[in-house]
Structure 1
């Protein structure tokens, strides 16, 4: 899978897409316990020439969390993804180059980001808002 079009075709066939634009898809991951997590999959152009895909998920509002404890938890429990602040939100994200991307190189990190974001959202924010 080497193009954004190939990836988005795969995503549309395998996941519940809730938003679909030229450079972004949003999917809903639902868990057996009734929780769910929205995942944002966006096309990014690195240095104006390389296609990358970014997988991101919102955990909660920055104002509502102890960032030190949050980052420590990520350090202890996650091997994939980093935490960033985007506007008022605390977001987990991971990026991958599209060139020569194998499907498992996309699906495994997507699952890790979703599961980690859902875990952190429940642990630190006590709800299921994202």
Structure 2
């Protein structure tokens, strides 16, 4: 893959897309234990020319999770992604450059991030929300 449009084509064929905007896709990832996780893919452009994809997944609402405990957990047990607050949500996210991106360099981080966000959501909010 080398462009956002190529990534969108691949994602539409491989994942359940529940919403699409020009620079954003919303996916619903389902797990074997009947849980599911919303994952947002966003196109970011660095310096007006370099395309990146941001993979983000909410893991709770800001007012409903112990942020310190969640950050400690992520610091000890998470390989990919960082935690940020976006609006009312605590979000696990990771960003990758699209230029020369191999398929496995996208699918593995997406899977890992979705599963980790779902585990954090279950651990810290006890919920299984599709935000």
Determine if the TM-score, normalized by the shorter chain, exceeds 0.5. yes
Residue 72 of structure 1 corresponds to which residue in structure 2?
72
* Offset, 1:93: 0.4
TM-score by length of 2: 0.97
Q: Distance in 2 between matches of 1:42 and 1:71?
A: 23
* Paired residues for 1:15-94 under 5 Å: 15-94=15-94
Q: Please list the CA deviations of residues 56-106 of structure 1 after superposition, one character each: whole Å capped at 9, or x if unmatched.
A: 001111111111110111111111000000111100000000000000000
Residue 107 of structure 2 corresponds to which residue in structure 1?
107
Gap runs ≥5 in structure 1? none
Q: Please list the CA deviations of residues 27-68 of structure 1 after superposition, one character each: whole Å capped at 9, or x if unmatched.
A: 111011110001000100112221000000011111111111
Q: Distance in 1 between matches of 2:63 and 2:121?
A: 14
Alignment root-mean-square deviation, CA: 0.7
How many residues get paired?
Answer: 130
Q: Distance in 2 between matches of 1:26 and 1:65?
A: 23
Residue 119 of structure 1 corresponds to which residue in structure 2?
119
TM-score by length of 1: 0.97
* Offset, 1:110: 0.2
Gap runs ≥5 in structure 2? none
Tell me the SS of whatever aligns to 2:39: strand
Tell me the SS of whatever aligns to 1:79: coil
